[in-house]
Homo-oligomer: A and B are copies of this chain.
C-alpha cells in the first residue's frame, strides 16, 4: 500500500482530514514535564498521540523543534514516530533539498532512519534536489505557496504570466505521478488554493496555517472541494494548557477540528 492509499484509508476510518503537528518544545509543555527535559518531551508526545490518534489522519513532526536539543532531540523524532499507530500517515516536516548526492543522504535520514511515510521538500534547487526523495513507496510534499507572510517575497513573483508557485507545481507534476508527490499550500491563501485546484485536482495537499497562524479553515474546505488534502494544526492542539489535563484538552481540540474539517 502506498502512502496516498494509506491517507485515503485513514480519512475514511477516522472521518477526518486532520493532521496533528508535533511542534514540541520545552518552553511550552507542562512545567512538570519540561523539568524532565527530553524525557518529558517524549512523555508529552506519547500522551498527545494517544489522545489525538482517534481524530488524526496524519501526524506531522517538524524536525527543527527537536534539532535545537542536539542529538538527543534528533533521537526523539525517531522515538516519537515509532509511537504513532501504523494506520496514520507520518510526515517528516524537514523542508530539505540539496544537490543530488546530498539529497540522497537526507532521504535516507527521513525514510531509512526516522521511518517517516512522507517528507516536505523545498523546490528551490530544482529536479535533481527532489528526485532522491522519490524513494520506494514514500511520498514527497513540495513547498508551493507557504502559509507565512514571507511567502509573498518570491513565491508570488510572476514569470510568463504565472506566479513562481504555479511554475513549481506544474514542473514538479512532470517528475512523478500523484501517488508519490503532492504540495504544501497554506490555509492563509484560500483563493490561490481554488486556482491551484483547477490545475491539480488529483494531487494531495498538505495545508498548514490553521489555528495560531490564523488560516481560513472554511475557505480552505470549499476551495478544495472533493480533492485530497490534509489540514495541519500544531500549537492550537498541543498547547491548550500547561496543566496536567493537556492531553485531554488536546484530544477535545483535535475532535473539534476533525468535525470542522469533515472528510
Contacts and interface: CB of A to CB of B under 8 A. Distances in A.
Interface of A: 23, 25, 62, 64-65, 67-72, 74-75, 78, 93, 95-100, 102-103, 105-106, 108-109, 112-114, 122-130, 143, 146-155, 157-160, 164, 167-168, 171, 213
A67 B67 CA distance: 11
Contact of A67 (B113, B127, B157): B113
Contacts of A160: 157
Contacts of A68: 105-106, 108-109, 112-113
21 contacts: A62-B98, A64-B103, A64-B109, A67-B74, A67-B105, A67-B109, A68-B105, A70-B109, A71-B74, A99-B147, A99-B148, A123-B154, A124-B143, A124-B155, A125-B148, A126-B149, A126-B154, A154-B167, A157-B157, A157-B159, A157-B164
Contact of A23 (B102, B113, B146, B149): B102
Contacts of A102: 23, 62, 64-65
Given A67-B109, A68-B108, A126-B152, 9 more contacts: A23-B102, A64-B103, A65-B102, A68-B112, A99-B213, A124-B155, A125-B155, A127-B150, A158-B159
A148 B100 contact: yes
The 10 A-B pairs with the shortest beta carbon distances in the complex, nearest first, are A126-B150, A126-B153, A71-B75, A67-B109, A64-B105, A68-B108, A128-B150, A99-B148, A74-B74, A157-B159
Contacts of A159: 157-159, 164
A23 B99 CA distance: 12
A70 B64 contact: no
A263 to B, nearest CB: 27
Nearest to A112: B68
Given A106-B67, A154-B123, A99 B164 contact: no
Given A68-B105, A72-B71, A154 B164 contact: yes
